[in-house]
Amino acid sequence: MFGDDFQTSRLAIPAVSILIGFLAYTSQYFFLHFESVPLRKDEVWKINIFALCIWVCYFRSCYVDPGRLPASQKSANTSPEEKAHATRRQRWCRRCEAYKPPRAHHCKTCKRCIPKMDHHCPWTSNCVSHFTFPHFFRFLFYAVVGMGYLETLIWERASIVWGNRNLPSYLGPSVGQLSHLFLLFVVNSITVLTLFILLLRTLYSVLFNVTTIESWEIERHETLVRRARVLGGYLEGPGGQKIRIRKQEFPYDIGIFSNISQAMGGTINIFSWFWPFATTPDHNSGWEFPINDFEGPGVTWPPPDPDRIPFPATKPSATESPGIQTYASAREEVEAFNRRQLQDMNRRRPFSNVQRRKRFHDRVQQLDKNESDDERQPGPIYGDDSDDGEESWRNADGERLRDFGVDEDVEFYDEDDIPLGVLMEQRRQAQ
């Protein structure tokens, strides 16, 4: 969905700005010189008011800080009630080396965990998050309404030109005006249709309080439930452990009005939902969210996913002797060194690359061999462009997790329930 080309991303904001300027201002120039239906005063006001709203909302979508975890929140603030539920899973970001709050995701472009991250938008060069989502929604709303109004004005002029098509050419607009009208019609129609579809998708997110990343997670969870239903309710995790998979409801849908209020900055003031100069949500918010009562206490989102658990560290074989090895010849010693080097390359490196599991269907074919993850060789280490591992799973729209702009190595393999102190100690030992 989103390109990784840095030069292209730098041109996104200027390109959108040129598009806004072309539709908002060259259309007025055309209307002023269209003699059959000259631009009326109320039309001038409406076009420019819509254009101002679009400019303000787009600017704020691009340049408002999407948020960062405060220093005081680097470790989880666990309440006595939460401590009583030992099954509650806490996520830790291996990139930020900090507690990952609920609904936060690590953006590979912003290089930090973003609160309630929806996606990294290439057209704003910014993350759509808890803090920027209200501005992004208002930008889409005013863009669709403004260009929809412009479409009616263009249609009015185009219908007159079509109705007078049999008249002599000198009685109608010039070739330049016709070309300009045609270009305005094509560009505005395609843009407003595209943004209208995006607005509907965003409106769905607002009504049900679900981000695009969480929609992906919901589809992923439904896939796991179907797989587990065929395999007796359990799926195999790394090391051969059996993990029970059950249907889990999305916890953040708390009612339509509350969902809208939370998405639009936490205010119940309906006027401020559409006010372009509305204040950005408080940056101390966005790290905790109310949940519904469909699931019991201690249940977290996303649900457990066996394929998102990294391989356990390779254990030394029981046949390996801790003493000094002796060899009959130099060639035998070199061969033994090469074997150890190959084992080191296949061993999991906890803070660099992640050894990913093979695709589910490839692993199912190995079940007849009665091999566990400890007995079979771990899969190779893939790069970001690989489609060979389970992390390449795609939803119904063909999107994988990295397509939303997140760091897939961190986000797909985020099932490490490791306290931050232990994580830091492991890093010191690795160094």
Kindly state the percentage of the chain with pLDDT values over 70: 71
pLDDT digits (tens, 9 = 90+) for 389-430: 788 889 999 999 989 999 887 888 765 555 445 555 555 555
Helix (H) or strand (E) holding 200: helix 175-208
Cβ of 129: how many Cβ atoms within 10 Å?
A: 27
Catalytic residue among 57, 110, 113, 121: 121
Lowest mean pLDDT, pick from 128-132, 183-187, 365-369: 365-369
The confidence score (pLDDT) of residue 16 equals: 95
CB contact at 8 A, 97 and 427: yes
Q: Which amino acid is at 167?
A: L
Closest among 127, 125, 95 to 112, alpha carbons compared? 95
The confidence score (pLDDT) of residue 61 equals: 96
Lowest mean pLDDT, pick from 161-170, 181-190, 404-413: 161-170
107 is catalytic: no
Report the predicted TM-score, pTM, of the whole model to 2 decimal places.
0.79
Q: How many CA atoms lie within 13 A of 303 on its CB side?
A: 21
The domain ranges of the chain are 8-77+85-274
The confidence score (pLDDT) of residue 6 equals: 46
Mean pLDDT of all residues in 365-370? 59
**pLDDT higher for 214 or 73?**
214
**pLDDT higher for 219 or 163?**
219
The confidence score (pLDDT) of residue 338 equals: 67
Can you tell me which residue has the tokens 């490490």? 416
Evaluate if residue 154 carries a pLDDT over 90. Answer: yes
In the structure, what pLDDT confidence band is assigned to residue 64 with cuts at 50, 70 and 90? very high
Helical H runs in 266-376?
270-274, 330-346, 360-364
Q: How far is CA 172 from CA 72, 152, 161, 416, in A?
A: 69, 20, 7, 71
DSSP letter for 358, please: B
